[in-house]
Amino acid sequence: MVAVTSGMLVVFALVVVTMALFVTEAAPPDVTAIGVIVALVVLEPWTRVDLQTGLSGFSSAATITVLSMYALSEGVRQTGAIRVLGDAVASFTNGSESRLLAAVVGLTGPIAGVVNNTPVVAVFVPMVSDLADQANVSPSKLLIPLSYASMLGGTLTLVGTATNLVASEAYAEATGLPPFSMFTFTPLGAVVFVVGAGYLLTVAPRLLPERIEPGNRTGNYGVEPFLARVLVPARSPLVGIPAGEVSDDTYRDLNVDILDVLRGGEHFIAADSDREVESRDILTIRGDPATIRRFCDLADLRFLPRASVTDAELDRPERVALVELVVPRESGLVGETIGGARLRERYDATVLAVRRRGGDLIREHFRDVELQVGDSLLLQTTNETARYLRDSGDFVVTSEVADEFIEDNGGLSPTSFRAFAVIAAVIGLAALGVVPIAIAALGGVAAMVTLGCLSASDAYGAVSWNVIFLLAGVIPLGRALQLTGGVALISELVGVAATYLPVVVVLAAFYLLTGLLANVITPVASVVLMLPVAIDTAFGLGADPFGFALAVTFGGSTAFMTPIGYQTNLMVYGPGGYRFADYLRVGAPLQLLLTAVTTGGIVLLWGV
């Protein structure tokens, strides 16, 4: 019997506190992870984690590889290669919902197997939303399948997700055996993907609601009552005032915004122009209906009651863009108010509505609205600014934006083939064992920059540093569990219970428990905590530790049941208009199905 020590209790307490912070998001996960490093080293007499061990997460091969894969994925994204697929998909689907869904699932999964799935989904969300509008299909029917397909595709290769890389290193450390190779679990990943894809194509469409009406962003955000068209008479005091300064001048307290100006046949966006208002101009105004009426009285404007404002008036490809954004976890604007972020002044963008993660809509008094992770914003700006916002890292743009790097003939830029060659070289060198995956990935980043596929600043900017710090924090926490004997104690307790169960049931239990944890404390953290326990339990039962390691690895990739479990789930939350229960309704059956499929696959392919 493993004796309980004070060191174990201290580390267990840190694990509990860390999990509570992850679940409640009282602090950002990366900040929590940094706090874990500090606590582990400060409490070294109990945790046995010295400075070198505490910082080992930063030098981990998994961390370096994940960092490099973000940059490599950005290099592929910037070539426009993935986006060009939109034209091919549109031709294939021809307005058919079933074909569109099949194309989304069939393309996303394999691509996510070799390119980090988060940027893949970031590129696909606007493309899928646009194709859904063209086919008159609700995006709600497609976006959760998009996220799930990317997660399933991540199980195809070692570099598909950060979870795989962390599991590979943890397995090698716990067993003394070589880490997973590039295609170690590809056979099982292929089975899981095929079964999951079948579920997404047949069962999921019946479970997914139509939360969003296709092709009607203003209607979906309930913005139409808050928009109006007014005519400027010659006597109006607005004549001669720059259009972009009207809402910042005398009428600031009314909380109205001038969106755009129609002058003859020409439209120009107010926030992006210093042109003065002229007699006979038609203004598009955003504000509370009663406030708009008051504004018309004060500014001597003529309200045009029959002039409804729709997407067509607000989204003109040649100049004006109606854009949807999602606030990701890594955004530097989380916690800042919209007024403090100065979106109108800095980005020539006017916020029309905000959809909260709970589904609540905010359509006025934006200046004091605090931006939260998962918020979805509808705003009007220019195409140039939309591209800048997409590349800034503070937002994920989930509506189509024209790209300058796609050639006029619909082909790819010359750098596309160089980027693909680099990715192929990285995978090939790692798969053949010529160099470790971390070195191959780092070399790939250097090649991308040297060959002009990616600038150095873009390479740094592409990295989700919150994920890197999360990895750096949870890796030494798992190490502390091993050093203090916590893993051995948990394994012994599990082993006692498992004595009365078949090994295959214990294997399935580890898969399911890891998946459930991944839904609330992130996949990486769940794998770091569960994999050493699973391997120790396997040794205690006389089973193959490789099979148990695979169960935990694949379980960490099945965070289907909540929007917060995985970044891609959060990215489609706002654009799909989803509610928390939608993920549970669609994700829970899939998670149970894959528990049986993965467990059976491990037994058939490798035995236990």
Q: Give 341-383 as a DSSP string.
A: HTHHHHHS-EEEEEE-TTS-EE-S-GGGPBP-TT-EEEEEEEH
Residue 160, pLDDT > 60, answer: yes
pLDDT band of residue 425 (cuts 50, 70, 90) is: very high
275 C-beta neighbours (distance < 10 Å), count: 14
Q: What are phi and psi of 368, to 5 degrees?
A: -100, 5
Degrees, nearest 5: CA angle 473-477-479: 120
Mean pLDDT for the stretch of residues 495-519: 88
Q: Considering the chain, what is the average pLDDT of its residues?
A: 85
Q: How confident is the model over 168-206, as pLDDT tens digits?
A: 999 998 898 999 999 998 999 999 999 999 999 999 999
pLDDT band of residue 409 (cuts 50, 70, 90) is: very low
Residue 491: predicted pLDDT: 82
Q: What percent of the chain has pLDDT over 70?
A: 91
Identify the residue with better confidence: 608 or 232: 232
What would the two tokens of residue 378 be? 């509808």
Q: Which of 269, 148, 156, 138 is closest to 214 using CA atoms?
A: 138
| Helix (H) / strand (E) containing 561 | none
545 C-beta neighbours (distance < 10 Å), count: 20
Identify the residue with better confidence: 491 or 315: 491
Residue 405: predicted pLDDT: 45
DSSP state letter for 49: -
Residue 194: predicted pLDDT: 96
Q: What are phi and psi of 142, to 5 degrees?
A: -120, -30
What would the two tokens of residue 492 be? 């012994």
Identify the residue with better confidence: 386 or 355: 355
Least confidently predicted of 42-56, 316-330, 396-410, 492-506: 396-410
Residue 408: predicted pLDDT: 45
Compute the distance between CA of residue 450 and CA of residue 87 in angstroms, rounded to an integer. Answer: 30
Compute the distance between CA of residue 32 and CA of residue 17 in angstroms, rounded to an integer. Answer: 9
75 C-beta neighbours (distance < 10 Å), count: 30
Maximum mean pLDDT: which of 215-219, 358-362, 372-376, 410-414:
372-376
Is 218-411 in CATH node 3.30.360.10? Answer: no
Per-domain residue ranges of the chain: 218-411
Residue 411, pLDDT > 60, answer: no
Residue 410, pLDDT > 60, answer: no
pLDDT band of residue 320 (cuts 50, 70, 90) is: low
Maximum mean pLDDT: which of 42-46, 65-69, 92-96:
42-46
Residue 20: predicted pLDDT: 87
Identify the residue with better confidence: 601 or 491: 601
Q: Which amino acid is at 73?
A: S
Mean pLDDT for the stretch of residues 459-482: 86
The widest CA-to-CA distance across the chain, in whole angstroms, is: 91
